[in-house]
Chain A
């Protein structure tokens, strides 16, 4: 039987990893990821989870060990945040190009300097082009569900790519929510034992990680790109299977009150729920505002995105990372580029906000929606505006 109870989201994520029956966990502590790996090490120590827990000496080694474990055919997991993810950066590309399935929870946190343990998306945005499938959870239930789905997606022979599940540091990871943990047997049916396509097997030797000359390098990279793009179909299929098994549905781009909306807030992650409350307030005041939140960031779900924004006149993008010296925030940039060659496209106003844990309140989302409409009425192109920053 599935169990519904109030628990810290980090603990729920660890319980999901246990339900996935991982074989190897390698992790290094970093705030705000620690509660996940602490709980996993307890589960292993208590014999509740039969897995190797490798308490590595750095995040670089965490991902390296997970790569090694995945290469022998073990279901492998790690979790990190911020500086830890940045330290893994080198190995991120290698994991995806080796086509090794694995799952990582990134508990999103700002990157130094100044050192800051609070939430924004600058850590994961710096890993955008590493070839990983990247999902965003809005609440604790989604964090659990996406974790289970992530293994199934990663290990699908049509995919064979690593997957990141993002959840906002503290404002989601440390919140106590009512979460339903699915029944183990149901999870086993949904997520059978990992059957690796290729593994390091003394009876059938293969070489992994060979060096690629200019003659073959592009072909390898193209295959990774094709696998990543192709994974979207598998993601959708896994979501259909998940809905059948557990009754909760997931979309690459989720909509909230988009019907009849002229202005859409575009968000990612747990702040979407605050933004939804703001949308409710604005709707009550008669403003035609709705919201979409991007759940699948890589591969970018172009078709679902275009469908979700149909009829909207203004997009108010909420970016929680900055591309210094560039065109604005990474999400705004992505959306502008996606829309560039569309005959009809909404006005895109990009707002960078909430950096380093700066609070994002309903009022800020209202301000963003209003400002976006003002920019659109002016007809002037805008690069981006930073919201909630003191100018003096």
Chain B
């Protein structure tokens, strides 16, 4: 078992993957769900002792049909928009009880999980508040890019062009008309010690980031790409494939923001976005023009990210840092 103590941890390798699970089999996730996989990896990486707070959403509903529970760690679900506020209370409660000697003093990781709706839309206020106040916990957004639990409705995290049940591919309007809200950037703007994006196709990278997030003192934010075969209309065997393509096309670049400094996992030869879009039926209505628009935007956003890295690392006029070790994963 890997503990939460930084001294015990170097970096996960295929040989040091923890056996321990925080969420066990028997839960009711859809076949091929990429979100529960991401959740499982984050949990494995952080390890125990851990207390989990879940927002309402797919992961909450599939894991806790009373009297069953898939949670092997203490778990609390209160409502949709308040996971960060509840986690604030959990963290503050633990800290005070330890200070007063009522519970043993030890590091207990507090981890809040929420979907993109619970993070980017209805939970944004409570998340912002908790991050600003500096509570020591990890907030994980498992982003499947729409309200999947209620039946695939668009959120502010739904990508441009994607078809959902409230951004349908109609005769006049072709799917989502807005660009995906950049939550990681919003969190970075809170100047918290650690922000990272991750994808389950790069599982060691994801786990190392989760571990780092938990070991850092203060608030940490992980934005984890979480494929939903049911909502995205792709094969149930393709969650890892899309998780890889989204990174390889630079649609979802992997990066960390450590104490305000960006560290980007470089991808100088990105695949065309079309390769990612074409295997998901949520994008099947896209016209070549729309695909071009997306390509242009993705290229611009990636450039912007690299510039942020140069600017925050103080590398103006020089080459950016060499590719992260994570690439080896």
Interface residues of A (CB under 8 A from B): 23-24, 26, 50-52, 54-58, 60-62, 64-74, 76, 90-91, 94, 98, 193, 200-203, 205-213, 216
Contact = CB atoms under 8 A, between A and B. Distances in A.
Contacts of B87: 68
A292 to B, nearest CB: 38
A210 B64 contact: yes
Interface in B79-96: 79, 81-82, 84-96
Given A209-B64, A209-B76, A213-B66, A51 B82 contact: no
A221 B156 CA distance: 35
B82 A60 contact: yes
B75 A68 contact: no
Contacts of B290: none
Contact of A52 (B53, B74, B82, B93): B93
B66 A69 contact: no
A65 B66 contact: no
Which of B71, B82, B94 gathers the greatest number of chain A CB atoms within 10 Å? B82
Contact of A205 (B75, B84, B91, B133): B75
A52 B65 contact: no
Contacts of B86: 64-65, 67-68, 71
B298 interface: no
Given A73-B93, A91-B82, 8 more contacts: A23-B96, A55-B133, A61-B84, A65-B86, A66-B89, A200-B75, A200-B90, A205-B75
B97 to A, nearest CB: 6
On chain B, which size bracket covers the interface?
Answer: 35 or more
Given A73-B93, A200-B51, A201-B74, A50 B99 contact: yes
B96 A50 contact: yes
10 contacts: A24-B89, A54-B92, A61-B85, A64-B126, A68-B85, A68-B87, A68-B91, A74-B92, A203-B49, A207-B74
Contact of A207 (B64, B81, B126): B64
B194 to A, nearest CB: 21
Contact of A210 (B77, B79, B93): B77
Contacts, number: 169
A91 B56 CA distance: 13
B258 interface: no
Interface of B: 48-51, 53-54, 60-61, 64-67, 69, 71-79, 81-82, 84-97, 99-100, 102-103, 108, 125-126, 128-130, 132-133
B129 A72 contact: no
A67 B100 contact: no
Contact of B89 (A60, A67, A94, A216): A67
Which of A68, A69, A193, A201 gathers the greatest number of chain B CB atoms within 10 Å? A68
Which of B88, B91, B130 gathers the greatest number of chain A CB atoms within 10 Å? B88
A26 B81 CA distance: 17
Contacts of B66: 210-213, 216
B20 to A, nearest CB: 12
